[in-house]
Amino acid sequence: MRSKGGRLLLAGGRPRGTIYAVNRFLQEQCGVRWWAPWATNIPRHATLRIPELNDRRQPAFEYRAPFWFCGFDPLWKVRNGVNSEWNNIPADLGGCVKYKGHAHTFYPLVPPEKHFAAHPEWYSLIKGKRTHERAQLCLSNPELRDFVVGRAKEWLRESPDATIISLTQNDWHGACECPNCKAMDDAEGSPSGSLLAFVNYVAERIEPEFPHVAVDTFAYQYTRKPPRTIKPRANVIVRLCSIECNFREPLDHSSNAAFLADLQGWAKICQRLYIWDYTTDFRNYVNPHPNWFVLGPNLRLFQANHVRGVFEQGAYQGFGGEMAELRTWVLAQLLWNPQHDDRALIREFLDGYYGKAAAKPIGRYLELMQRESQGFYLACFLRPNAAHLKFKPLVEAERLWGEAELLVRDDPELLARVRMANLPVRYAFLANWDGLRRQCAEQAAVWPLPESRKMVAREFGQACAGITNRAWTRVHPLNESGLSVDEFVKSFDANER
């Protein structure tokens, strides 16, 4: 972005640099904000004054993916510097990074229903028996390796625009225990040994035909620990996954020491280290999940450890995830530049999306949930009765959201946004009703909702049905397993209280 002699230059490298320059200029010099696909702020000025500019930059990460449903719109992604697939960005908007396969591709590449009968030796040996049930591949088998090389080439010929192919373990354990695999893993001190040797083999053999393609694999669950001596080839991406972590705290907190050690270990040996991070509660998409204040510290940690791509998995199956719009927008800004003040970004979003008046009680709500979760291990699969979801903090949360609604009651658009964001508190009351009623009685307190759980559930269901012609106001599903609002509400039909 450069201004000189009354002229303005906005330019960049192919394929998206010039588009990014234009959008950064609109944000930084004109105050434009694309909060969500349905919420844009375009300030009006009688005169636009541009300072002297001589600014050249590039994003911190080569792959930037805030994987939340409300952030899948291609135009919103381009405007906010997101370059991931999932609702691909069209070529006239600069295109995007394209994977062939995305995750857990062992069985899509080598389907056991086609190959196990003839080649049981291609699959895991577990407790002395070859099996494909909740198993993996036998990564040391020479014939299997060459077969996967052929399959990878087939996949890439089918998708000539792909620049990354996923060669990733199934979403369970079941590593092969055959003598060759076990010897490799024992020597390397981790099952990542046999995995990385296998991936390197495939990457080396597809490289002559596909020099522009990287092979992506996981450091996930049982393969998270890096190997002692084997290093990824230059055309191999390792995606380190944080699924076991405490997401209430930054990933360099003492409660996440094992993950931090693995991050630092991979950073020493991997030229293209990516991260798969988790930013929601997959068991309860609509549940207060106080991880808002670790997003910035985590992305700065990744940058400091030379991470080159980040996938931030959230509520990806529909609208209505708790504080989804906030996380998606804030993550997009931080993926471009992790050195942004993340607390300032959060405050800016609250002001812009909910209105300055409502932003104040909503900000206090975020601080409340963060404070009440102190010392709690905030996993990404939680039961609904977490430490911050006790009676007293939830009553205060309900009061704060009620205050926010009153402050925007004369603005239908802001009111719709605030009411959507209040649903997680009602969900928390419904999901742990009996326990909360006991706590209320023990504290001799006043119950803040109608006495009938069935009535509260029906009101929740009606609110989740959304507003006509506003798709973003309809909540579905409630968790990764696909629980619908109707199923959740009907589960309380027998409760007449």
Let me know if residue 46 belongs to a domain.
no
Q: What is the pLDDT of residue 247?
A: 98
pLDDT digits (tens, 9 = 90+) for 391-438: 999 999 999 999 999 999 999 999 999 999 999 999 999 999 999 999
d(CA 414, CA 252): 37
Take residue 24 and report the two structure tokens written for it.
């950064």
Residue 18 in any domain: the answer is: no
Summarised one tens digit per residue, pLDDT across range 251-271 is: 999 999 999 999 999 999 999
Residue 191 located in a structural domain: yes
Q: Is there a domain that residue 253 lies in?
A: yes
Helix (H) or strand (E) holding 277: strand 272-278
The kind and range of the H/E element at 217 are strand 214-219
Per-residue tokens: 395: 């009553």
pLDDT exceeds 80 at position 385: no
Contacts (Cβ under 8 Å, ≥6 apart) of 254: none
DSSP state of 62: S
For residues 95 and 89, is the Cβ–Cβ distance under 8 A?
yes
- Asked, for residue 41, whether it belongs to a domain, the answer is no
C-alpha separations of 379 from 256, 268, 306 in Å: 11, 27, 25
* 199 domain-assigned: yes
Phi, psi of 340 (to 5 degrees): -55, 150
25 occurs within a structural domain: no
Contact at 8 Å (CB) between 486 and 474?
no
Q: How far is CA 274 from CA 128, 277, 300, 325, 479, in A?
A: 35, 10, 14, 24, 26
Let me know: does 240 contact 224? Beta carbons within 8 Å. Answer: yes
The average pLDDT across 156-182 equals 98
Task: Using CB atoms within 10 Å of the CB of residue 462, give its burial: 0 to 12 exposed, 13 to 18 middle, 19+ buried.
Answer: exposed
Looking at residue 88, the DSSP 8-state letter turns out to be P
pLDDT at 76 over 90: yes
Spatial separation of the C-alpha atoms in residues 73 and 66, rounded to whole Å: 12
Distance CA 176, CA 132 (A): 10
Place of tokens 């080396």: 204
pLDDT value of residue 155: 98
DSSP per position, 278-333: E-S-TT-SSS----GGGHHHHHHHHHHTT--EEEEE---SSS--TTHHHHHHHHHH
Whether residue 496 is predicted with pLDDT greater than 60 in this model: the reply is no
C-alpha–C-alpha distance, residues 459 and 470, integer Å: 19
Q: What is the CATH number of the domain that holds 174?
A: 3.20.20
Q: Is residue 249 part of a domain?
A: yes
pLDDT, tens only, 227-238: 999 999 999 999
CA–CA dist 496, 43 (Å, integer): 51
Residue 493 has pLDDT above 90, yes or no: no
Phi–psi pair at 3, nearest 5 degrees: -120, 140
**Is pLDDT of 360 > 70?**
yes
When pLDDT is averaged across residues 338-364 and rounded to a whole number, the result is: 98
Q: How many domains does the chain have?
A: 1
At residue 246, what is the residue type? N
Cis upstream peptide for 111 (omega within 30°): no
Per-residue pLDDT band for 495 (boundaries 50, 70, 90) equals: low
What amino acid occupies position 33? R
Q: Average model confidence (pLDDT) for the chain?
A: 97
Integer Cα distance of 335 and 302 in angstroms: 10
- What does DSSP assign to residue 180? H
User: What integer is the mean pLDDT of 61-77?
Assistant: 98
Alpha-carbon gap, residue 168 to 159, rounded angstroms: 18
In this prediction the pTM is 0.97
220: left (phi over 0), alpha (psi -120 to 50) or beta: beta
- Quote the domain boundaries for residue 328: 63-343
